[in-house]
Structure 1
Amino acid sequence: MFDYIFFDLDGTLTDPALGITNSFIHALKYFGIEIPSYEKLCSFIGPPLPETFKTQFGFSEEKASEGVKKYREYFAEKGLLENSVYPGIPELLAELKNKGKKLVVATSKPEEYSVRIIEHFGLSKYFENICGSKMDETRSKKDEVIAYAIERNNISDKSKILMVGDRKHDILGAKKVGIKSCGVLFGYGSLEELNAAGADFIAENVSQLTNICVF
């Protein structure tokens, strides 16, 4: 049914919690803001950074840009690799590739960082390409990233694409572009969040995700 599988990165292929939370802590300390709980910090995994700084901390556009710069001071040096691949993901990717599926990373994380992460964990051999946002935070909305991935891979039939991700942004982005989506529950989104966004499929674990992707 699906020839192309688009994967989100954070909360879908890898667990980036340590690096992302430490990067937020670094930025918030700079602004003198009280550090939220670890659980609250983890809820920031997924959405574009400027959106989080504006909606969660009331930052202006200009201050949000400064917040992103401070976040990246830590992330680029340390946080990038304070990360781990979810168990079963390498095996999933190998099986899908062996079955002839074309795999693509479609993430709101900057493409430069995403390439480094995928290469560090030895996963680049499974992907046609890695599509992310630009360092200036343009092309950071999920529908923009998905549209970019479709164009970059010269896909004419969108019915052959499945977007896999753990947050509502992945599902809503897929719907806006007109492709099917699968929400995963081993990341940072809840069943309620993914259902409310309108996910076409839900996978509780990597095994279920495998069955959906090879369908």
Structure 2
Amino acid sequence: MRKIILFDLDGTLIESGEGIINSLHYAIEKMGLPEQTSEDLRVLIGPPLLEQFMSYFDLTKEEAKKVVIFYHERYHPVGLYEGKPYQGIEHMLKELSEKGYILGVASSKPQHLVEEILQHVNYTHYFTLIVGSGEGDIRNTKRAVIKEALREVSFDEKSDNVWMIGDKEHDVLGAREVGVLCVSVLYGYGTKEEIESVSPLVIVQTVEKLHQLLLTF
């Protein structure tokens, strides 16, 4: 029976905070929004940026779209390449692949950026499927991204044969809405309080602990 493991990207596979936060500072300054500390901005890493900007800065959808455009002015040419895989991730992916697990990426980041990052770190060959958000309102929620990932592998088995791995509450909630289980990691950008509040299947502290857990799946 197939075992499918879907990974979030930022804060789960890739330590992407430096590039994202630098690009957030750039966008905030260009938009004339109140200055924020880098620590404050960590909360914006992971979930879709449009809704994050609307909520965090109390912006209209049109205003938030402008901030997203400014963000990508820096992120795509520069910030994207400032991230790096967490130590131990490649060893984990290699062993899981060799043992026959079906691996995928399910990220709220735009699809073309997800693909570009994975190509940059030479991880593409580990994954059977790579799914990100689409243009406009296409796959603009974690639920929609996970649902599309399962569609691409023609998933028609029991939900406990799929695990979603992520570092934020929206990974847990999106997985739950689709009917699959979520394992949360604490080495990423979500806080312990945030993750515990949504009760994932398991919470792990490190990549090593995640690796050990997934081998039991």
TM over 0.5: yes
How large is the Cα RMSD of the aligned pairs?
1.3
Q: Counterpart in 1 of 2:215? A: 214
Q: Deviations over 1:90-133 (max 9, x none)?
A: 00000111111000000000010000000100111110021000
1:84 corresponds to 2:84: yes
The answer to whether the 8 A contact 1:4-1:161 is kept is yes
The answer to whether the 8 A contact 1:88-1:206 is kept is yes
Shift of 1:194: 1.2
For these two proteins, the number of residue pairs brought into alignment is 215
Q: Counterpart in 1 of 2:118? A: 118
Shift of 1:187: 0.2
Q: Counterpart in 2 of 1:183? A: 184
Shift of 1:156: 0.8
The answer to whether the 8 A contact 2:2-2:102 is kept is no
What are the residue-to-residue correspondences of 1:17-96 with 2, within 5 Å? 17-96=17-96
Shift of 1:58: 0.9
Q: Deviations over 1:18-56 (max 9, x none)?
A: 111111111111111232111111111011101111001
Q: Counterpart in 2 of 1:155? A: 155
Cα distance in 2 for partners of 1:180, 1:14 equals 21
The answer to whether the 8 A contact 1:2-1:214 is kept is no
SS of 1:187's equivalent in the other structure is coil
Residue identity over aligned pairs, in percent, reads: 37
Q: Counterpart in 1 of 2:131? A: 131
What TM-score, normalized to structure 1?
0.96
Q: Deviations over 1:43-96 (max 9, x none)?
A: 110111011110011110111111111111111111111101000000000011
Shift of 1:214: 1.7
What TM-score, normalized to structure 2?
0.96
The answer to whether the 8 A contact 2:11-2:189 is kept is yes
Equivalent residue letter for 2:98? N
> Any stretches of 5+ residues in structure 2 without a counterpart?
none
SS of 1:109's equivalent in the other structure is strand
1:174 corresponds to 2:162: no
Q: Counterpart in 2 of 1:204? A: 205
Deviates more, 1:142-151 or 1:24-33: 24-33
What are the residue-to-residue correspondences of 1:6-17 with 2, within 5 Å? 6-17=6-17
The answer to whether the 8 A contact 1:109-1:140 is kept is no
Equivalent residue letter for 1:135? E
